[in-house]
Amino acid sequence: MTTTIHLAQQPEADELLGRSPLAALVGMLLDQQVPMEWAFSGPYTIARRMDADDLDAHAIAAYDPEAFVALLSAKPAVHRYPGSMAKRVQQLCQYLVDEYGGEAEAVWSDAATGRELLDRLLALPGFGRQKAQIFLALLGKQYGVRPEGWREAAGAYGEQGAYRSAADITGPESLARVRAYKQEAKRAAKAATSERPAKGAAGGGTAKGAKSTGRSGSSATE
């Protein structure tokens, strides 16, 4: 697995992501509640602090938990929540050791269908459905891992020409488009949430009689 990646927006970190299946998995795991570049530069930071040129699932799983928290917490921290993420990274690596002999690529190398691959990703510690589908789309779009039905299994994230997630980022321009999509989605969700109580307030106002109806209607539109 060697490909050109632009998720960390840092040459050394992206080079590691392009050649290391475990680095790609760990980067995806870290990609929550922090900017994407911060998350995907994490694997490179961890490897460097472990005096290695790649991540090793056996070494990480066997690392003293408190020392691993300290390793991720050292400034600059690998994540906004280094303690909880250190635990998740170790859980992921232990699972890979137990189920795949420590080889991250084995998760997808012999998956016959997109559905099978999605199920395998969903079984990984720290991977919910959205994260699993985004990573599946990333594998298909940028790493050439394309079992039958992979786009369908990835859902909307697998669509060609979409700019919804890390799977679609190949440089600064696409990064800006993905960020714009996410910001618009957040605005739409916020607007939908704010409309619901407003409608309730309007409904309550009409029950008070003619004198209070005008005031209730006014507050409902504010």
Residues in the chain: 222
Given this model, what pLDDT does residue 196 score? 67
Distance from C-alpha of 113 to C-alpha of 194, rounded to nearest angstrom: 41
What distance, in Å, lies between the first and last C-alpha atoms of the chain?
54
Least confident segment among 65-74, 95-104, 166-175, 197-206: 197-206
Contacts of 217 (CB under 8 A, 6+ apart): 202, 205
Which tokens hold the place of 12?
A: 């050394």
Distance from C-alpha of 165 to C-alpha of 43, rounded to nearest angstrom: 19
**pLDDT tens per residue, range 171-194:** 888 888 888 887 888 788 888 887
Distance from C-alpha of 44 to C-alpha of 15, rounded to nearest angstrom: 9
Q: Which DSSP string do the residues of 33-82 spell out, in sequence order?
A: SS-HHHHHHHHHHHHHHTT-SS--HHHHHHS-HHHHHHHHHSSSPSSSSH
Alpha-carbon torsion angle 135, 136, 138, 140, nearest 10: 170
**pLDDT tens per residue, range 37-56:** 999 999 999 999 999 999 99
Distance from C-alpha of 50 to C-alpha of 164, rounded to nearest angstrom: 33
pLDDT above 90: percentage of residues in the chain:
72
pLDDT band at 1 (very low <50, low <70, confident <90, very high): low
